[in-house]
């Protein structure tokens, strides 16, 4: 850098790199960073969607107090926990299981099988939920096949599990494809050596495949947690949070309080739910980084 | 040279699969077939069932063979679905597709262009704050969109863009940039340094290098971005639901979701046909670009 003036250095190290960066940065600040901060501030105010000045009425922790004394909030918390937890544990496990079966099964049409199972993942969650809604209805085809008359979607306890099932149905192929790519990258000689040593397939899976795939498992769990935590359309279309708010999750409850035509229009409460969600994902991020450090250290 | 390499690889794979085959017990063979058959039935059943429903007349709705095969086939439901959308959803299917296309194309194009610039900056320059900014950008992928929804609503309202395409295009760009940067940066960094050095020796400016060398080399990465961003924006529901309340400009998911609304009782055949109209174009695109979809998703995930 000899012979450069301070300005030239400044230009080279700051102006040029940042001028390429600025457009993307502006979009991120306007669409994400600024609104997230504003959302946190707004959770201390009371306002509706029609107010001109939304910062008129400061209410302190009233919105949070309202939430914590509200039955729906605890139902939504429980359901979000079921939903996100199921995606993290059940969906990941099914996907890993299927990936291993396909990989070791020596299927002739292996790529076609993967393609079919992956296919629901490219469809709109709205279309998927509309389809399942009809199938799960009381006079729907599922009851017709089983020759029973069970109200799957309007059962207080079962509704959220129907949502879980449909969500797994849609996204399991996504995890499967990622696992399969992970399996393909396993050192083939390792498996051959195990073959020569006379290892059976359970030994191969638990002693070689799963330890090697561990980072892929973590990756899939993280993707599922992030994806299901923000899922809205599937619950909205399948159950509308019903019956009587019993399948509400954070996202639908927030919509109900802030935007729904038949809702109370308490946007401050909606902002408070957004705050809780943001906090939850930050905590999740910190836990993940802590775990990562422990593994390395 | 290349072909010789690939045949030797093929041989290796053959030997390997033989090795597994020899050791594999018969039980696993049967077990794996049963599991996959069940999995495929569960996956395909809903799609095939809705397709089957969409082909039935009102009279033959419950007449079928093994639930899936209709006794009599008609395409009348598809015509009725087009009319039903016009009269009951206040927006025709053509308008829905047009709206979705405008929102998707506009946001993908802008998102990829600004992400390419940013990724070039990350991969080509050394500057203060680089990794912090990068980490912040990528971390914002994990933030649920709901966390910025309410303020964005008021920002859009004050800008007067509620009920215009811009109201969803702008957030879509913001929310998809992290994914695009993730993929593009890592691809740009894998472009051999010799190519960049040679360009610098020739006295090519940064911008010329970006435009003439980096971008043309990055077509596969850009294709991956297009696919991932297409899936994100084409299927997006929440923002479209809140920001596009005028039926005429509603995107496909928002408009179609109204058939579940229950304001009017919609005949089952039309219901199925409406769903299929949203599914079939995606099915065709998926079949044509299937390899790209799979590798795109895998790549996107592994980079993450």
pLDDT in tens, chain B (304 residues): 344 444 444 444 444 444 454 445 678 888 999 999 999 999 999 999 999 999 988 777 777 777 788 888 888 899 999 998 888 888 999 999 999 999 999 999 999 999 999 999 999 888 888 899 999 998 888 999 999 999 999 999 999 999 999 999 999 999 999 999 999 999 998 888 888 888 888 888 888 888 888 999 999 899 989 999 999 999 999 999 999 989 999 999 999 998 876 666 788 889 999 999 999 999 999 999 888 888 888 877 776 5
State whether B117 and A21 contact (CB < 8 Å): yes
| Residue A45 bridge partners (DSSP) | A58
Q: What is the 3-state secondary structure (H, E, C) of B32-44?
A: HHHHHHHHHHHHH
Q: By CA distance, what is B15's nearest residue in A? A: A192
Q: How far apart are the first and last CA of chain B?
A: 35
Would residue A111 count as lying in a domain? yes
The token duo for B78 is: 């598809």
CA distance B202 to B222: 26
Asked if B228 and B235 count as a contact pair (C-beta separation under 8 A), the reply is no
Yes or no, beta carbons of B272 and A285 under 8 Å apart: no
Domain at A150, CATH number: 1.10.3720.10
* B33 to A105: CB separation less than 8 angstroms, yes or no: yes
A-contacting residues in B 8-67 (Cβ below 8 Å): 12, 16-17, 19-25, 28-29, 31-33, 35-36, 39-40, 42-44, 46-47, 49-50, 53, 67
Nearest to B301 among A105, A178, A230 (CB): A178
Residue of B nearest to A116 (CA): B40
pLDDT for residue A277: 94
Q: CA of B303 to nearest chain A CA: how many angstroms apart?
A: 10
B contact test, residue of A18, A21, A187, A235 with most B CBs within 10 A: A21
Q: Is B173 on the interface with A (CB under 8 A)?
A: yes
The per-residue pLDDT for B3 is 43
Write down the pLDDT at residue B24. 52
Show the domain range for A230: 70-296
State the first-to-last Cα distance of chain A, in angstroms, to the nearest integer.
38
Task: Please answer yes or no on whether B46 and A135 come within 8 Å at the CB atom.
Answer: yes
Q: What share of chain A is helix, strand, coil (3-state, %, to 5)?
A: 75, 0, 25
* Residue ranges in chain A whose pLDDT is less than 70: 1-3, 296-297
Query: Does B230 map to a domain?
Result: yes
Please check whether residue B298 lies inside any domain of the structure. yes
Instruction: For residue A58, list its beta bridge partners.
Output: A45
In angstroms, the CA A81 to CA A53 distance is 35
Is residue B108 less than 8 Å (CB to CB) from chain A? no
User: What predicted TM-score, i.e. pTM, was given to this entire model?
Assistant: 0.89
- Residue in A35, A102, A130 closest to B275 by CB: A130
CB contacts, 8 Å: A169 with chain B:
42-43, 46
A293's tokens? 């450090």
Q: Residue B173 domain-assigned?
A: yes
Residue B118 sits in a domain of what CATH number? 1.10.3720.10
Does a structural domain hold residue A26?
A: no
The rounded Cα A95 to chain-centroid distance in angstroms is 16
- What contacts B115, CB < 8 A, 6 or more positions away? A24, B177, B180, B181, B184, B225
Q: How far is A167 from chain B (nearest CA, A)?
A: 12
From chain A, pick out residues whose CB is under 8 angstroms from the CB of B53. 134
Can you give the C-alpha Rg of chain B in angstroms? 25
Residue A4: count of CB within 10 angstroms of its CB: 12
Name the residue of chain A whose CA is nearest to B34's CA: A101
**Is residue B10 domain-resident?**
no
| Domain contains A156 | yes
Least CB–CB distance from A226: residue in B113, B142, B293: B142
In a domain, A168, yes or no: yes
What pLDDT score was predicted for residue A21? 93
Tally the domains of chain B.
1
> B61-100 burial, b for 16+ CB within 10 Å, e for fewer?
eeebeeeeebeeebeebbebbbebbeeebebbbebbbebb
Residue A2 confidence (pLDDT): 55
Q: Which of residues 73 through 102 in chain B touch A, CB cutoff 8 A?
A: none
Chain B residues lying within 8 Å of A278, measured CB to CB: 143-144, 147
Residues of B in contact with A123 (CB under 8 A): 235, 279, 282
- Cβ of A24 within 8 Å of Cβ of B293? The answer is no
Domain total in chain A:
1
Q: What pLDDT sits at residue B264?
A: 65
Is B125 a member of any domain? yes
Q: Could you say which of A42, A124, A196 has the minimum Cβ distance to residue B253?
A: A124
**Cβ-based neighbours of B151, under 8 Å, separated by 6 or more:** A34, A35, A36, A38, A39, A42
- Which residue of chain B comes nearest to A124, CA vs CA? B235
Residue A9 located in a structural domain: no
Q: Is residue A38 part of a domain?
A: no
Q: Is residue A14 part of a domain?
A: no
Is residue A59 in a domain?
no
Please state the separation of Cα B226 from the chain's center in Å: 8
Chain A residues with CB under 8 Å of B286 CB are 119, 122
Rounded Cα gap, residues A294 and B1, in angstroms = 46
DSSP for A9-65, please give it: HHIIIIIHHHHHHHHHHHHHIIIIIHHHHHHHHHTTB---TT-S-TTS-B-TTHHHH
Show the domain range for B253.
91-265+281-303
Give a yes or no: residue B75 inside a domain. Answer: no
Task: Tell me what pLDDT residue A207 has.
Answer: 84
């Amino acid at each position: 850098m000899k012979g450069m003036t301070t300005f030239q250095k400044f230009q080279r190290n700051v102006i040029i790199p940042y001028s390429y960066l600025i457009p993307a940065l502006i979009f991120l600040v306007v669409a994400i960073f600024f609104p997230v901060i504003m959302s946190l501030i707004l959770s201390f105010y009371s306002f509706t969607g029609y107010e001109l000045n939304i910062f008129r009425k400061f209410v302190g922790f009233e919105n949070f107090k309202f939430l914590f004394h509200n039955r729906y909030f605890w139902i939504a918390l429980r359901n979000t926990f079921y939903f996100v937890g199921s995606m993290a544990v059940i969906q990941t496990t099914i996907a890993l299981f299927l990936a291993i079966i396909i990989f070791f099964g020596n299927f002739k049409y292996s790529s076609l099988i993967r393609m079919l199972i992956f296919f629901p993942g490219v469809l709109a969650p709205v279309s998927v939920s509309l389809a399942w809604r009809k199938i799960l209805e009381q006079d729907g085809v599922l009851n017709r096949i089983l020759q029973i008359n069970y109200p799957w979607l309007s059962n207080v306890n079962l509704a959220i599990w129907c949502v879980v099932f449909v969500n797994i149905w849609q996204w399991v192929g996504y995890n499967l494809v990622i696992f399969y790519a992970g399996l393909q990258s396993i050192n083939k000689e390792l498996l051959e050596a195990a073959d020569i040593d006379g290892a059976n397939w359970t030994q191969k899976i638990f002693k070689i495949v799963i330890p090697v795939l561990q980072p892929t498992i973590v990756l899939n769990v993280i993707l599922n947690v992030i994806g299901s935590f923000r899922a809205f359309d599937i619950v909205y279309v399948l159950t509308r949070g019903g019956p009587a708010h019993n399948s509400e999750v954070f996202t639908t409850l927030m919509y109900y309080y802030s935007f729904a035509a038949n809702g109370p229009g308490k946007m401050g409460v909606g902002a408070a739910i957004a705050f809780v969600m943001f906090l939850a994902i930050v905590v999740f991020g910190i836990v993940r980084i802590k775990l990562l450090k422990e593994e390395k250290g | 040279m290349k072909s010789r390499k690939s045949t030797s690889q093929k041989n290796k794979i053959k030997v390997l699969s033989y090795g597994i085959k020899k050791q594999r017990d018969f039980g696993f063979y049967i077990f794996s077939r049963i599991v996959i058959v069940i999995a495929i039935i569960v996956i395909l059943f809903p799609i095939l069932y809705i397709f089957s429903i969409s082909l039935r007349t009102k009279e033959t709705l419950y007449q079928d063979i093994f639930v899936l095969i209709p006794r009599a086939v008609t395409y009348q439901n598809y015509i009725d679905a087009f009319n039903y959308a016009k009269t009951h959803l206040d927006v025709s299917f053509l308008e829905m597709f047009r709206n979705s296309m405008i929102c998707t194309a506009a946001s993908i194009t802008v998102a990829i262009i600004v992400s390419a610039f940013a990724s070039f900056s990350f991969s080509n320059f050394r500057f203060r704050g680089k990794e912090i900014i990068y980490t912040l950008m990528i971390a914002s992928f994990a933030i649920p969109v709901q966390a910025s929804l309410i303020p964005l609503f008021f920002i859009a309202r004050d800008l007067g863009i509620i009920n215009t395409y811009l109201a969803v295009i702008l957030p879509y760009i913001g929310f998809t940039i992290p994914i695009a940067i993730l993929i593009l940066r890592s691809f740009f960094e894998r472009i051999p340094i010799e190519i960049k050095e040679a360009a610098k020796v020739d006295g090519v400016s940064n911008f010329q290098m970006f435009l003439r060398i980096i971008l043309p080399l990055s077509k596969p990465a850009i294709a991956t971005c297009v696919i991932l961003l297409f899936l994100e924006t084409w299927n997006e529901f929440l923002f479209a639901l809140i920001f596009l309340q005028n039926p005429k400009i509603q995107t496909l998911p928002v408009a179609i979701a109204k058939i579940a609304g229950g304001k009017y009782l919609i005949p089952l055949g039309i219901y199925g046909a409406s769903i299929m109209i949203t599914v079939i174009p995606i099915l065709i695109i998926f079949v044509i670009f299937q390899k790209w979809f799979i590798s795109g998703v895998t790549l996107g995930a592994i980079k993450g």
